[in-house]
Structure 1
Amino acid sequence: MNSKLNIRDLDYQQLVKELENLTKEKFRAKQVYEWLWYKSVVDFEEMSNLPNTLRKLLDNKFYIDFLEIIFKQESKDKTIKFLFQSIDKHKFEGVLIPSQNRITACISTQVACPLNCSFCATGKLGFKRNLSSGEIFEQIFKLNKLSEQIFNKKLSNIVIMGMGEPLLNYENVLKAIEHIMDKQSLFFSPQRITLSTAGIVEGIKKMADDNLKIHLSISLHSADDKKRSLIMPINKKYNLDSLKKAILYYYQKTKKRITYEYLLLGGLNDSLEDAKKLTEFTKISPCKINLIEYNHSSDSLFKASSKKNTEDFINFIENKNLIVTLRKSKGQDINAACGQLANKNENFNN
């Protein structure tokens, strides 16, 4: 096992403190940070403006982790999916989603996912490990650079909705978010970051206690315990009553509006009775409901809701004076849409 520390797990302020122990020259931290992130070196010997003694000290204490993009695929709607490979050869995906006025990055927090939601291809990969804070940050940093190169725009928004359950990797996700927001880094506003969870109760409460300024989205998909347990096995551990209490706790502490994600599955959760249960569940705090059209995966038994059922479902919610939108997922033709990320192109190189 590597006894050295991954230097890319350090944010700028942590790097400053580490460098203070190695050199009295305070400006060296900025130089090292630029080499790591803006020049993307993978060896301390490449840091040519550092004294040789400092390079050796860094090499003795740290190693440089890095992500490689081994495949990219573009959708007809201009969405681009990237397959990242870590230094230990694990693979995960990130997505750039362009729209008229913004570029959104959908990022991963784990290699696959342990929750095994029945509609989601990611869970069928078999969970491997958490991503480190450095890997999460580097994924975002690289996607931001790619956004500038491809679309001539920096990232507008970040959605933590890719592979994995972010609240099961809380500390690393939190550290990466803090790094993103650092003024010495991407200086990203928390108001442009959304974290989506399947409903990890302790994690939701911890977000409230830590007063994270980012947006919270709940993958709900049913407000009926029996149906939700079928769709999302995590509901057997955190049922709707415990989830409701956690959401209420979150709202009381933060006063932030919750977004609910609700995947419409034909014949399963798209009836008017389902809509009624959804509106009853969500009335506990101000919210927005995002209905999502189902994206079929090759081994799934589910089907999309009919046009009529979808329209009736929306009308019912609107009549309750709730904010509801129907989200048409982008990147479906390249398996980059909600529930489709599954490293399906991992045997191909760019």
Structure 2
Amino acid sequence: MVETGLKKDIRKISNKELKDFLKEKGEKAFRAKQIQEWLWKKSARSFDEMSNLSLNLRSLLKEHFELFPVKVAEFQISNDRTIKSAFQLHDTHLVEGVLIPADDRMTACISSQVGCSLTCKFCATGYMDRKRNIEAAEIYDQVVLIKDQAEKHYKHPLTNIVYMGMGEPLLNYANVIKSVEYITSPEGLGMSPKRITVSTAGIAKMIKKLADDEVKFNLALSLHAANDEKRNQIMPINETNNLKVLIEALQYFYQKTKTRITLEYILFYNFNDSLQDAEELFKVTKKVPVKINIIEYNPIAEANFSNTKADTLDQFASYLENKGVNVNVRRSRGKDIDAACGQLANRKKEGNN
């Protein structure tokens, strides 16, 4: 539990603990519901905002508890209207999140870890150390802040959330699941879980845990190569979670949830973009119900990969479509501000405002 001196983080205590505290201080138990509503439905950033609580109760809360709201340290707006934000956490760590506007939707791309413990060779975050997991309330705050940006800049509500920012969500399992509860609960933001996608590099046992926990949100697997030799080269996690093990986990997830999985596939020039690669990817689609997002690569300074040619991408997608595969080509957004897929890396020095 985050504490400053003797003060506890109010967003990390249970409802029972809050009720017990209020009872001990001579306050009515129903105040707990009001406080929780301020925290999770109204997204209060300070106790002073809790206007239907007495001044005495607000003072009491300030005396015993802390609120650690995430702040926007800086943001940039891309030529294509994408907004990238550097979010500052209470301990001065920075993480990045992105608002991706489209004609019919507003998508928040949020982070689950400060840095990442996986070392995917094509991803800027993979070249950072993992400093810590992001707390559930801090993940929730990213959503709220991006939601506010959507409404302020584009007069459009937030419609979708993807856990595709910095970090591996399934290595911060408890906080990710808790954050989804805050976001989807009627006592929270009330968003539909079907509007949420959690993306993983492929942690088989945690994919099975998602299935056992009967999650209602969508699952995406960052595949990027459909044979073990190539996937080992770019995603070291594959050495302990190979394709056979991953496909078994995806089959288990589908059997339990009946939710079709998305396979994300970045096309790298002259590496995984041949028709043979497309055929290997097609074979995966025969083993578990999936749809495929083909993603343009966004080069980073740390890696030697480059984007495939436009006609190669078209041929690759057409090959799969002609075999009846549901394929969506995702064009890069926010490239000019390093906000595109795989580019999030805290260029700003941590701790600076």
Asked if Structure 1 and Structure 2 have the same fold, meaning a TM-score greater than 0.5 normalized by the shorter chain, the answer is: yes
Structure 1 gaps of 5+ residues are none
**3-state SS of paired residue (1:69):** strand
1:50-199 superposed matches below 5 A: 50-51=53-54, 54-55=57-58, 58-59=61-62, 61-199=64-202
Between the aligned residues of both structures, percent identity stands at 48
Aligned residues: 346
Distance 1:95 1:267 in 2: 29
Tell me, what secondary structure is at the counterpart of 2:339?
Answer: coil
| 2:293 corresponds to 1:287 | no
**1:272 equivalent in structure 2:** 275
How far residue 61 of structure 1 moved from its aligned partner, in angstroms, is 4.8
- Supply the AA of the counterpart residue of 1:265: F
Matched, 1:304 2:307: yes
Note closer, same or farther for the CA distance 1:73–1:348 as it changes in structure 2 (3 Å cut): farther
The alpha-carbon deviation at position 35 of structure 1 amounts to: 4.8
Q: Distance in 1 between matches of 2:43 and 2:181?
A: 22
Kept after mapping to 2: 8 A contact 1:94/1:106: yes
Give the superposition deviation at 1:320. 1.5
* Residue pair 2:37, 2:188 contacting (<8 A) in 1 also: no
Q: Determine if contact 1:71/1:348 at 8 Å carries over to the other structure.
A: no
User: What is the correspondence of 1:307-326 to structure 2 with a 5 Å cutoff?
Assistant: 307-326=310-329
TM-superposed deviation, 1:29: 2.7
Q: Secondary structure at the match of 2:178?
A: helix
Write out per-residue CA displacement over residues 273-303 of structure 1, whole angstroms, 9 at most, x where no aligned residue: 1111111112112210110011111222001
TM-score if structure 2 supplies the norm length?
A: 0.91
Contact 1:71–1:345 (Cα < 8 Å) also in 2: no
2:37·2:187 contact (CA, 8 Å) conserved in 1? no
Structure-2 separation of matches of 1:336 and 1:226 = 30
CA contact (8 A) 2:94 2:350 kept: no
Residue 19 of structure 1 corresponds to which residue in structure 2? 19
Structure 2 CA distance, aligned partners of 1:56 and 1:194? 39
Q: CA–CA distance in 1 between the matches of 2:37 and 2:198? A: 28
Give 3-state SS (helix, strand or coil) of 2:221's partner: strand
CA contact (8 A) 2:108 2:143 kept: yes
Change (3 A) 1:179 1:47: closer
1:17 and 1:104 map into 2 onto residues whose CA distance is 35
Tell me the TM-score normalized by structure 1. 0.92
- Where does 1:212-223 land on structure 2 (aligned, <5 Å)? 212-223=215-226
The answer on 1:341 being equivalent to 2:336 is no
The offset of 1:97, in angstroms, is 0.7
Indicate the SS of the match to 2:96.
strand
Q: Secondary structure at the match of 2:186?
A: coil
Q: Which amino acid in structure 2 is aligned with residue 338 of structure 1?
A: C
Match of 1:293, as an amino acid? E
